[in-house]
Amino acid sequence: MAVRLTWSIYQAMKDPLSRLQQPLSSVTIFSDSQIALSWLAAAPSSTSPGVFICNRLKEIRRIVDALAKEGVTIRFAYVNTKHNPADAGTRGLTQQTLQHHFWWTGQEFLRTPSDHWPVTFYPHVTEEHPEEESLCAPGKSVDQENKEVHVLTTQTRDRATDLLDWKRHNRWILSQKVAAYVLRSIARLVARTNPRLRQRVELAVPELHAKEAPPYITATEMENALRILIRKHQQVHLPPSQQKVLKQLKLEKDEHGILRRRGRMGNSSLPVNARYSCLIATKTRLAQLIVEDAHSPLHCGIAHAMANVRKQFWIPKLRQMTRKLVGRCVPCQKLNNLPYRYPDMDDLPERRVQRIRPFEHIGIDYFGPLSAKRDDETVKVYGIILTCATTRMIHLELVPDMSTSHLLLVVDSSHEEEYQLVSRPITARISY
Please write the tens of the pLDDT for every residue from 326-339: 988 888 888 887 77
pLDDT in tens, 339-381: 777 778 888 888 888 888 887 788 888 888 888 888 888 889 9
Q: State the maximum Cα–Cα separation within the chain, in Å, rounded to a whole number.
A: 127
Q: What's the whole-number mean pLDDT along residues 73-89?
A: 74
Ranges 48-52, 209-213, 250-254, most confident: 250-254
Domain count, the chain: 4
Question: What pLDDT does 151 receive?
Answer: 45
Last residue of a domain, one of 266, 300, 335: 335
Let me know whether 262 and 203 are in one domain.
no
Query: Is this model's pTM higher than 0.85 or not?
Result: no
What pLDDT does residue 430 have?
Answer: 37
pLDDT of 360: 79
344 occurs within a structural domain: no
Q: Alpha-carbon distance 383 to 407, whole Å?
A: 11
pLDDT score for 133: 41
Residue 323: which domain range? 241-279+291-335
Burial class (CB in 10 A: 0-12, 13-18, 19+), 282: middle
pLDDT at 58: 80
Domain contains 343: no
Instruction: Please state which of the ranges 93-107, 177-191, 260-274, 358-372 shows the lowest mean pLDDT.
Output: 93-107
Based on the fold, state whether residues 7 and 69 are members of the same structural domain.
yes
Based on the domain organization, do 20 and 73 belong to the same domain?
yes
- CA 148, CA 151: separation in Å to the nearest integer? 5
Residues 221, 256: one domain? no
Residue 96 lies in a domain: no
pLDDT of residue 291: 92
Give 19's pLDDT tier (boundaries 50, 70, 90).
low
Contact between 229 and 180 under an 8 Å Cβ cutoff? The reply is: no
Q: Is the residue at 286 inside a domain?
A: no
Q: Are 68 and 125 in contact (CB under 8 A)?
A: no
pLDDT digits (tens, 9 = 90+) for 102-144: 767 777 777 777 777 767 777 766 655 544 444 344 444 444 4
- Residue at 111 is within a domain: no
- Percentages helix, strand, coil for the chain, rounded to the nearest 5? 45, 15, 40
Residue 98 has pLDDT above 60, yes or no: yes
* Same-domain pairing of 40 and 145: yes
Q: Taking CA 114 as the corner, what is the angle to CA 109 and CA 115, rounded to the nearest 5 degrees?
A: 110
